[in-house]
Amino acid sequence: MFSIYHSVSGIWRDQFDDLHSRVGWSMYNTECFSTRNRFAMYMVKLRTSLSHELVATLFNVSCTSRVTGHIRAARKAAKNNFTIHNVGFDAIPREKVIKEYTTDLARELFADGKKDVLILIMDGTYIYLGNTNHQAKNNYSDNF
């Protein structure tokens, strides 16, 4: 079934409703936009990385700075009411990680088979951002 929610935010309507119920209460309705609309702008921005001008066009907002304010308010609400409770080291108890997510192989390799040891393996990934061809041409021509 087609869902505009899924197309523009990457989540289904019931998932959106659940997220909004967790963060929307800490935002306020404005004269023109409900907390639901403001949170939707934030979710669209997260999913699509569209410019604020395009988000403004999608939501029929006349001023880009208003979109910036709406997204900022929704981001703050999500950070304070969702992220700190569901993401990061404090979101899951140590015992649960040891019991449910530590494999026997990891225990043997890194903890000499001990059962009560937390094993955390982190992978660092980076993206190299170089100059675009246009910038490179401008920089090259500036040198001569």
- The pTM (predicted TM-score) of the whole model is 0.64
Per-residue pLDDT tens over the stretch 63-120: 888 999 999 999 999 999 988 888 887 788 889 989 998 889 999 999 998 989 998 8
Buried b or exposed e, range 31-66, using 16+ CB within 10 angstroms: eebebebbbbbbbbbeeeeeebeebbeebebeeeeb
Per-domain residue ranges of the chain: 4-86, 92-144
Residue with tokens 């992220």: 83
Return the biggest CA–CA distance within the chain.
66
